[in-house]
Structure 1
Amino acid sequence: MKRVVVITGGGTGIGAACAQLLAQEGDRVFIIGRRAEPLKSLAARIGVQALVGDAASSACWQDELLPAILQDTGRIDCLISSAGGMGLGRITDMADADWQRALDSNLKSAFASARACLPSLIQSRGNMVLLASIASLAAGPQACGYITAKHALIGLMRSIARDYGPLGVRANAVCPGWVTTPMADEEMQPLMQAHQLSLEEAYQRVCQDVPLRRPASAEEIARVCRFLASPDASIVTGAVLVADGGSTIVDIPTLAFTSL
């Protein structure tokens, strides 16, 4: 039987790469996103089903998304929560609305998606993968909302793994570092302007102290998600799988000795 996989934030970036990989392997894939154009374009290209909607809205899940999936398939076997973004700025620079958007995009989207899908995941003894970040583990500059929400995402995943493991549901998180996605391309713009760099040079600069000396591709992170969602990871739950080229193992105070 084909697995039924639901992917939020599925129109671009890591979510799109997950959709393409899993569809190629025979899964029945539903991609969810708020922007109709990239979502429907991808769906037509790779042969998956697009559902336009807000993954952070519980009402949207109950009234639109969940009925569309379950009336068609009757089941959900895997949720990949890839929606995210926003939340840049220091705390004193953030308006209440910006803070709320960061929480909605990165945390509430995962919460609402998990809560909506869990009854079906319990029935299928399925699993979920939450796309976190190395910003879930450490703080970069001027990204207060994003960092806070991504830290909380790990707590959400662990709570789900703890509470629903006895019912056969697995929950795990992936923490990428820099990934060459449209969102990251936008984040490179200030660096490119400040130092007169090309996009490729900007990625090289932010990865100059990363042990592998490069960013990940979206496809590489998709393969990590595929593993956690597969029977090969049947004993893995509550795990944080870091896929960052080694970024988080670097001892920052010793960087000055690198060139000796």
Structure 2
Amino acid sequence: MSDLSGKCALVTGGGSGMGAVIARALADAGATVVIAGRRMEALAEVAAGSRHIVAMNADITDETSVRALFSRIADEVGDLDIVVANAGSAESAPFHRTGVDLWRRMLDVNLTSVFLTFQHALAGMRKRGEGRLIAVASTAGLKGYPYVSAYSAAKHGVIGLMRSLALELADTGITVNAVCPGFTLTPMLERSIENIMQKTGRSRQEVTEELTRSNPQRRFVLPEEVAESVLYLCGPHSASVTGQALSISGGEI
């Protein structure tokens, strides 16, 4: 595990699931971690479990809210060394039933949120000439899946954004990468399983077998496995790793 003592980190969408696990891993490694999101009660519950985690309310899809968040972080916590753009959501629908509202929601929460988070993080990192920008993307950003065209398009956008920004910042000491988990045991996956069960009438076992079929290891990814990959990308031995979309998918990608 990387020693992140003295480092400050931000994890968006840190109130549950993958974000909460990543935040706890960063805190356990010694970092002071700000978790941000819209559900303050959930954020406070995660923060209560560690004296190194601070909860702050913000709508990561709204520029004014993101600007206020970074101003508050600067005043109350200090300069950010690590930013993990994790906030995201998945909604499914056949393409012909994917309305503009669903499309825009998926782009806002999965792509625009990364754009805003990274853009506001860069000012401080550029001044110091170092930093780690990490997006939590998905295997859906590296391949297509049926019935999630809007989500997949947004995650492909995250990968493109990350790769372009990594090249812009290659000579600055700031690295930009993405972790791309396959189906991971989180509350978001649980909601997807319940949704499929309701729409198809299939059992939990049948749905689980279908979702794990794409993973050669025939299992779901654990959020702790994703968090360990994030820790690696935050550490000193990853200074030459930038512009990478790290697949955590049991060999699916």
Give TM-score, length-normalised by structure 2: 0.92
* Structure 1, gaps ≥5 residues long: 249-260
Contact 2:197/2:203 (CA < 8 Å) preserved in 1? yes
- Indicate the structure with greater helix content: 1
How far off is 1:190 after superposition?
3.8
User: Structure 2 matches for 1:188-199, cutoff 5 A?
Assistant: 188-193=193-198, 194=200, 196-198=202-204
CA distance in 2: counterparts of 1:55 and 1:162, whole angstroms = 24
How far off is 1:86 after superposition?
3.1
- Give the match's secondary structure for 1:171: strand
Report the AA paired with residue 234 of structure 2: A
The counterpart of 1:18, out of the listed 22, 46, 56, is: 22
The counterpart of 2:182, out of the listed 177, 183, 190, is: 177
The counterpart of 1:29, out of the listed 26, 29, 33, is: 33
* Structure 2, gaps ≥5 residues long: none
Contact 2:8/2:78 (CA < 8 Å) preserved in 1? no
Report the AA paired with residue 116 of structure 2: A
1:253 corresponds in structure 2 to: none
1:127 corresponds in structure 2 to: 132
1:231 corresponds in structure 2 to: 236
CA distance in 1: counterparts of 2:202 and 2:70, whole angstroms = 47
1:162 corresponds in structure 2 to: 167
2:48 corresponds in structure 1 to: 44
1:114 corresponds in structure 2 to: 118
The counterpart of 1:58, out of the listed 37, 59, 63, is: 63
- Give the match's secondary structure for 1:45: coil
CA distance in 2: counterparts of 1:182 and 1:140, whole angstroms = 20
Report the AA paired with residue 197 of structure 1: S
Aligned length: 246
Which stretch of the first structure deviates more once superposed, 179-188 or 68-77? 68-77
CA distance in 1: counterparts of 2:48 and 2:42, whole angstroms = 10
How far off is 1:90 after superposition?
3.1
CA distance in 2: counterparts of 1:219 and 1:140, whole angstroms = 24
The counterpart of 1:4, out of the listed 3, 8, 24, is: 8
User: Structure 2 matches for 1:82-161, cutoff 5 A?
Assistant: 82-124=86-128, 125-161=130-166
Q: CA RMSD in A?
A: 1.6
CA distance in 2: counterparts of 1:25 and 1:190, whole angstroms = 36
Structure 1 residues 151-189: Cα deviation after superposition (integer angstroms, max 9, x where no partner): 011011011101112221100011100100000001111
Which stretch of the first structure deviates more once superposed, 115-124 or 180-189? 115-124
Which stretch of the first structure deviates more once superposed, 205-214 or 219-228? 205-214
How far off is 1:123 after superposition?
2.8
Contact 2:61/2:116 (CA < 8 Å) preserved in 1? yes
Alignment partner of 1:245 is 2:247? no
Q: After the TM superposition, which parts of structure 1 deviate over 2 Å for at least 4 consecutive aligned residues?
A: 190-198, 200-205
CA distance in 1: counterparts of 2:98 and 2:196, whole angstroms = 21
1:251 corresponds in structure 2 to: none
Report the AA paired with residue 88 of structure 1: S
**Greater radius of gyration (CA):** 1
Percent identity between the aligned chains?
Answer: 33
- Give the match's secondary structure for 2:59: coil
Contact 2:59/2:65 (CA < 8 Å) preserved in 1? yes
- Give the match's secondary structure for 2:171: helix
